[in-house]
Structure 1
């Protein structure tokens, strides 16, 4: 039995590594790849269970793809395999984004007009968000009520740009659609829900401890961990929703990065495989650039730990009783409203990121062109970013 268990661990972790190196194109592509590899090829989990599990992860704050991978690992081999899955999944993207931070810092220190190559990929990042919004809306919005909730959520998220409003809107959205519970199929076989609070206490304990230590020590590494852990605990709706709030905190409020550095990093993060939350490693590394190479590596790793841990703790808390909880029709009905609000947040995120850019012809065409390529062509996502980089280099050479 032990031999089978070791082989299962090895095969699953190898599959996770393959996904972490090949899952380009965001959460929609990721889910399709997981269905193909882990449902159809390996049979780790049924397709229906995977879709419900992914919906649960959408409801929780934090990175959906990371939580999904960790939850599958938990079902197969318990907490040990789940944490190993987490490390294998985030490691390649974290390393790549820290390396990107080093590259950007080196270019700016040694080359005049260093970010000229990013002339077009900064607005292209907006095109990626619009594309993600369009796919997500098509997948999740099926009723007039959901469409209205989405538009209201977009309006509120735009004018009240605070992460604390997100959980409130999601809760309200879920409550609004619970009245449709009678449209859900009845599942008669129910048993008493048993809740273990250990992981919830762990999540809350780390959140409080990081806030207290950050306040009293004022040490940058501690404050960075608290910043990212707080964002990972409060942001619903995935990486696209996370981005504008990281921008507000680290660019506009703390001035750790410039707008150009941030948007360049986000665009590059869209061209690498793995979780979109990996942009946090890039931000963390540049936030500690004054401490040299060691500081940048430390900042990148601290940011990764801060952003990925809270969602992992929360999914481990709920996954233990999710199979029983989802049998209740109001719970399933609430997912419609929660998903609609998440779509509204995506719409607001696209506009919030466009605000710092110049409202000119080139930026508008870069956004429209990126969306068109993603929507109507089969050009891989990384190659589209390469095209944008080459266009920026050519533009810089022509005007110089």
Structure 2
């Protein structure tokens, strides 16, 4: 168990670049260097996590920890991989004065502009990259555009950001008849444990329908994001953006944190740590960061134990592959809608932010500069121009 924790702590400190890059780090470290499992077993674990809602790389780490050291190994793998970026994001929220009660420095507004512009570039690059890989024919492209239209229509109803993904999955199950198939996973989970995990997942979803209130709105949004995100870390953006509509955090503060998250190693879901610290509900600061961090990952943890034992049967069901394909196409449309509103709309026409956004996009998409380097540079340039 100590080996699992220290190995994933090292990965959490050094795995920059997003979930796809994380899977490359995992493969090199855990398959090639340490030999914890072979290539086919690793590929099957990645296949399972790719069709589950939640952060794919974190779920892969949980499952590998489960294979290596049982249930405690799954917990320690998540803790090691998540802890560095969660602590850093909470510290960033504190340093920016989001919940500290003190006046921000003069360069603060410019720094927010730089982070916002970098976030625009990162989301634009994600939309185009995901569209190229997930929308490969006319039906999937149609689903993506339809999902974008539905998402924009639902902007006044921030609690329904998940609906385009659900509709896309339903359409995909009807239209695309290919099935996802996988061999047996090298995992053994007792049925009782799987049943309890499923009940925990249902209980977490129940949080999202509790009576309104600032704390409940915060917790419901965090749990909803952790339960319904398909397609990688960037898709958490529109689901968490409901906190802005609820008046729990400002638009610029929200996207400043999202931009800062691009510069972090480890999972992008630790954006929730920033929001938990910086939000304006009674549950903020260190306790809010801890609660948000645990709750955004808890649904994934429960799903891992609930679904793994029955994965082989679920993957062979008619329409399973089509549902995944439709959900993935809808993810592209959902991100495209977010790119337009609020990002492009809020970016405005002020030349500094537009120029930083264009330069950041060119560095990421054309010159393949690591996003975390671009984000740090954009923040520094914004602060310089704003001081």
By the TM > 0.5 criterion, same fold? Answer: yes
- Count of residues in Structure 1 that have an aligned counterpart in Structure 2: 373
Residue pair 1:166, 1:234 contacting (<8 A) in 2 also: no
Residue equivalent to 2:223 = 229
Residue equivalent to 1:252 = 245
Tell me how far apart the structure 2 counterparts of residues 166 and 54 of structure 1 sit (CA, whole Å): 24
Structure with a larger share of its residues in helix: 1
Residue pair 2:201, 2:303 contacting (<8 A) in 1 also: yes
Superposition CA RMSD, Å:
2.9
| Secondary structure of the corresponding residue to residue 128 of structure 1 | helix
Distance 1:33 1:267, change over 3 A: same
Residue pair 1:57, 1:68 contacting (<8 A) in 2 also: yes
1:389 aligns with 2:383: no
Residue equivalent to 2:308 = 319
- 1:266 positional shift: 0.9
Tell me how far apart the structure 2 counterparts of residues 42 and 113 of structure 1 sit (CA, whole Å): 46
1:379 aligns with 2:369: yes
1:297 aligns with 2:290: no
Tell me how far apart the structure 1 counterparts of residues 181 and 248 of structure 2 sit (CA, whole Å): 51
The 5 Å alignment of 1:1-400 reads: 9-105=1-97, 109-112=103-106, 114-161=108-155, 162-181=160-179, 196-208=194-206, 210=207, 215=211, 224-247=218-241, 249-253=242-246, 255-288=247-280, 295-327=284-316, 330-354=319-343, 355-397=345-387
Residue pair 1:170, 1:341 contacting (<8 A) in 2 also: yes
- 1:211 positional shift: 5.3
Which stretch has the larger CA shift, 354-363 or 382-391? 354-363
Tell me how far apart the structure 1 counterparts of residues 75 and 152 of structure 2 sit (CA, whole Å): 36
Tell me how far apart the structure 1 counterparts of residues 349 and 48 of structure 2 sit (CA, whole Å): 38
Tell me how far apart the structure 2 counterparts of residues 22 and 198 of structure 1 sit (CA, whole Å): 34
Per-residue deviation, residues 221-249 of structure 1 (Å, max 9, x unmatched): 565333312332233333322212322x2
Structure 1's consecutive aligned runs of 4 or more residues displaced over 6 angstroms after TM superposition are 184-187
Distance 1:136 1:290, change over 3 A: same
Greater radius of gyration (CA): 1
- 1:152 positional shift: 2.3
Runs of 5+ consecutive residues of structure 1 not aligned to the other structure: 1-8, 188-193
Give the TM-score normalised by structure 2.
0.85
Tell me how far apart the structure 1 counterparts of residues 169 and 323 of structure 2 sit (CA, whole Å): 9
Runs of 5+ consecutive residues of structure 2 not aligned to the other structure: 184-189
Per-residue deviation, residues 286-325 of structure 1 (Å, max 9, x unmatched): 125878xxx5000111111111101211122111222443
Tell me how far apart the structure 1 counterparts of residues 270 and 15 of structure 2 sit (CA, whole Å): 13
Tell me how far apart the structure 2 counterparts of residues 186 and 382 of structure 1 sit (CA, whole Å): 34
Residue pair 2:55, 2:232 contacting (<8 A) in 1 also: yes
